[in-house]
Every structure is written in structure tokens, then in C-alpha cells.
Structure 1
Amino acid sequence: MTRRWPDTLPGAERPGYQLQPVDPSLRTEMEVGARRLRRITRTRRDSVTVSWRFEDDQMAAFRAWYGDDPWSLAGDSDALTGWSLTQMGSISDGILGPAGQLADKIRANPVAGEHRASLPLPMAAFQNRVLVLMASLRAAGMGFARLGLRTMEGTLAYADVNLGSGVVVGQAGLAGLKVEPRGKGWYRVILRADTSEGPEVPEFRIWPMPAPATPGYSGNNADGLHLCEHMVRLDSGHDLYLPTTASGHALGAGGGSAWFMAPLAFGGGFAEAECRFEGGWKASISQGLRWTVSATLEVRNA
């Protein structure tokens, strides 16, 4: 999976942006005459000094992303590993998610009944805690989706969303709800819900639906929805989406060692470029817990 700058973090600031191309030539001083100059590579390398301005929750997410820290209780943000499918099938049909990743398609089997994808969250030690649950969804033959939490007492907290418009058409039992457009028909749905207490294992659930409030119907083995960017966290107030691995760790800069794609400028506007950190980064803080982070990036093939 390609590592990327998270969409939940702002891009590089224009003030202070510095671009220095790496010299592709080898210069040899001669005992007599002019020095010898040879081009040793046609691979473009640049050194870019950048700065970012973060709110406090963005700073927390940046630090976790930079260090590949633990971030999500839902494992891989772009795969259905660990999910169970009730009267559903899943395929990878080549559809790309909003960040360019491969998205899964879940589709309803041709039987009558409830159709859903479920991820158990074994959290017995976290009774009466608020969870943040999110996923990016796009219609794939069905125009509505339900996203929800089955609580420890067996009740359901959920939101029904129109995948054509991003409008919430029904909800119950939630502590918070937001729908963010991601472009090309994708919507990121973000819920906050209390786990409550009881004997049940809480579950993150997603239903494709042909109409509002209709989790039960007869499927056709084709229609469903596209799904990616799913995440679960204990509500901390610092719960921005980050792509994660199967272990739930952020898929980020690898402590500065990993190459990642980020929007940078090289002439002709900002464009995605492959880069990694040269050394570490530094930060300063201003009033209102606003942060300015600066670093130098090594860029290749931009």
C-alpha cells in the first residue's frame, strides 16, 4: 500500500517554502585547465524545505502518522480483514478510493433478510466509553447506507445516509455525527457512540440499503456499496482519520525512513510527489495551541 500524506492534515505553507535541486553532475578539479564536469544521473532529486500549520488535534495526528504509532482499533483501514459478512459477498472491482487506494465492494447475496458487514470490537475493559467510528462510502447500485455501533447492551446506535447527496436521512442513539464529501461520489461518515455496558461484544456495522431504514431486503448478488478508510478510536478529541495497517498502526512516515506521496510545488502548481524526511522535524507553538512544524524533505522523480 502506498504511504500518503493524510487528507486530514493541511498541505505545505507557501511562506518559507524552499526548493533546492540536487546537483546531478560530478565535478573534478584538474591540475591544469578547467575542472571536468560530468552528468552522472538523469534522475531528478530535489531538497524541499517546508512548513505546516496545525491545530492541536492535527498536531497529535501528525506525530502519530510520522512515527507509525497505534491509531485505530479497526485494523487495516482499506481492507476487510477481520470483518464478517452477513448474507454479503465482497470483491475488489478496481474502484479507487478518494486517496487513490483500492476500495472493496460489498454486495448483497440474492436472499431475503438483513445484509451487513460487521467488525467485532473486543473491548470488555471499555464499558461506557464513547467510540469514534468512521468509513468512506460510495454507492455501487444501492443509494443508501447505514453505519452504526451494536453496543454492549445489544442496542444499536446508527445513521442512515443518502449516498447520492451525503444527506443524513435517519439516526438514533448517537453522541455525534458528521458527513464529509470526499469527491467522486465518496462520503466519509463519522459517528460518535457510547459502548454502554452489558454482556455483548460491541460491533462496528455497515449496511448497504436500497432505501432509508431498510437493512432487510432481497439482494441480487450485484448491488451494494464501495468501502474504504474505516477507523475506530476511543474518543479523545484528537481523532482525525489516518490510514492504518493490519495492526492498527498509522501507515505514515516510518519515523522519517519511509517514502510517501505528498502535495508539493515544483513549478506549475502543487502536485503529488514521492518524498521522505531528511532528518527530523521541529515545531513551535503559538497562542491557542496552534503549531508550526518545519522539516526538509528529500524528493525523487518530481
Structure 2
Amino acid sequence: MNLFNVEILFKAMILVIDIIFSAIAFILFFTGIETILWWYTWHQQSQQTQIPTQPWQTALVFITGISDYTQDHLDPEQINFINKITQAYQIDQIIAEPFPWQPLTHKTLILSRLWKFLHLQPLPLWVMSLHNFWQTILILGLTNYYGKDIAHCLLNRLGLPKSTPSQLIFLCGSTGTGMALASLPYLKQYLSSKLIIISYGGVFRLSPGLNDMDQLFHLVGNQDHWAKLGEILLLNRGHHSTVFTKAKQENRLFSVSTGEHRHLDYLSDRYSQTNFKTDQQLTVETILNLKILGLKSRFDKCP
């Protein structure tokens, strides 16, 4: 191979690398803008008015970490999971829909049409992962604004409890845990309820919400490297981890192993040869064995 051919090959490689990096930069930029517009959309649609009072004492709110901004229903495995949990406990109010728990106007989600144009429907996992990435950035960088909007959105949908004492329970996966924690300081201003988070594979930062939650059950699979990486990057920060350590010392934060789960397996029907159960069965059984404040089993005998 002569020097001329080597030069052509080198230039071709540079061009290919440049195209690849440009494509990655464009996708990151596009999903970031899409996330900002998605946030702006439900922020505008959930401007807080007078909060209604609703007849609930125990409420359960599901926040999934998988983010398809145009999805208007949960996946079958998520529905099955929530049904198993709610069949076991006495729960008055259940919000089990994709966040932000309200239909978004089609015009304001015009950017999402690109994925349809590219025939990426349903959205591939890598796109939803980028949505999660940008939501994590919002939680890290704009906790006060983002958390306040999440709280307003929830209060408009859930209302204030008519009965006391009361419990508000978040059931969260992945980034959903960070979203729930970000909302707690603002929910605390309106609710005297016990604030409880049940997180499976949760990824969250040292949020001020750790001071406001009454219980956080952090369920982690032995093979969930994403959740463990999140703990290293977001929670292991020397003296800054005081709020995390304090919550553990006060018996408000509990780390619970769920078995051999990977990050995307907590609700799956993958069969475990070790436990002779599906991954979802293991997650459900782990949750049903938790000692959750104020939560009553449907099988408790009436006095």
C-alpha cells in the first residue's frame, strides 16, 4: 500500500469518526430538547389551582423509570406487578399511569414525531435510556424547580386526604425514585401524610427529600450494576453523604436484596433456576415482606 492510499484511508476513517460523533451529539441534543419541551408541556397543563380534598387514607403512586414521553398506558408487566401489590393491601387511591398522569397535548409533543418518521415505534431502549439520562440531569441540576412541578402535578391529580392519619406510597423504578425524592420537600408543605418510597433498582442522588421521607426501601438485585453504579457516583461523596447516613441510622432507609436481578429484570417473567420463581415474583414477595408504616393487609381481620 503506497503513501497515497494510506492518506485516503486515514481521511476516510476521520470522516467516519466525525459522522459517528456528530450523530451522537445530535441525538443527545435532540433528546435533551425533547425532554425540556416535555417538562414544559406538563408544567403548563398542571398549573396548580385550589387542591381538592379526596376520600383517601392510603394512596399508591407508580412512577416508572422507563420514559416514552408519548406513552399513554403502562406495559403489561407493570400492570400485572401493580395488581399483585394492590391486591395484597388496603389502598384507597391508586395512580397507575405513565407520568405525568395526564394526557399531553399532541401539538406540544411535535418533536416526538421524529421517532415515528424514523420508524422507531415503539421507542427502542436506547432512546428511553437517553430520556432517563436527561431526567436525571434535571433532578441533579434543577431539583427545586423540577421537584416542585412533580409535586404540583401529583397534588392536582391525587388531592388532599380526607382522613388522618394517612400514607402516601411511591412505587418507583430506576429514575422514578429520584423523581419521587425530588417532590417530597414540596409535598410535605401540603400533606401531613407518612411519605414512603418503595424503590426497585432505584437511581437517586443525595436529595433533600431524604430528610422528608418516613421510609425508603431500596430494593437492589445482586446483578443490577446500574443501580450500584448510581450509588457509587451519586451517594458516595464523603461528608456530603451525611443525609444518606442519617436516614439509615434513623431506620428510615433500608437496602434490601431481591436476588439475582439485573436492572431491567425486576418486573420480568424471566424464570430463575436458583429460586424456581420469576423475577417479578421475587420482587413482589420482597415487597410483601416489608414492614411498611400504616399499610394494612387485605387479609387483616377487622376489629
What's the TM-score, normalizing by structure 2? Answer: 0.28
**RCO comparison, higher one (Cα < 8 Å, 6+):** 1
What's the TM-score, normalizing by structure 1? Answer: 0.28
Structure showing the higher strand proportion among its residues: 1
Structure showing the higher helix proportion among its residues: 2
Please tell me whether Structure 1 or Structure 2 has the larger radius of gyration of its CA atoms.
1
